[in-house]
Structure 1
Amino acid sequence: MDRSKQVSTWGLHAGWHRELVTAPPTARNGKVTLSDAPGLGQKLLPWLWKRADAIVRVSDGFQIVDVDSRQDDAADIAIRCQPAT
């Protein structure tokens, strides 16, 4: 694979990636370093689902009843759904 295409592709994604997750992977010395933390060390930003351009999909027959962004860990979001009535 052509390495120049990999670098240019990563460069294009690095900008919007920061708008989605708390800690995007970093590139050093031509290599991408991933975290050992769960989910490769990435968590969705807590306000992501509220963005005007966000598309939130809920399975048929369910509805969102509660969204909890924990104050001690801004990246930890719990979205609770229940069957629609």
Structure 2
Amino acid sequence: MSRKNLIPLLSSRPMSLREIAAQLGQRPADVEDDLRHLTRSLVHTEWTLTVVPATCRKCGFRFGEDKLHKPSKCPACKGTWLAEPVIGIGRRAD
């Protein structure tokens, strides 16, 4: 699947990296690489990538928006009850 096909998929509804990989039938690591490249490509279009960062469900710690995959544990409380980041694409507001 080409990177351009990710735009209609993610503009319909935001998804986690695992959901995207399952939808495309690819490994999450491959999809993450494609999303990183797509982020750079979208700079020159009317689209923008939005990331709702992963959060710790135990203490509320929010990870950075640059992380597209689910971290293994929280650096603040060492908990493993984490919500995955959610990735979407929307039109750029001018």
What TM-score results when the alignment is normalised by the length of structure 2?
0.25
Higher strand share: 1
Higher helix share: 2
Larger-gyration structure (1/2): 1
What TM-score results when the alignment is normalised by the length of structure 1?
0.26
Greater relative contact order structure (CA < 8 Å, 6+ sep): 2
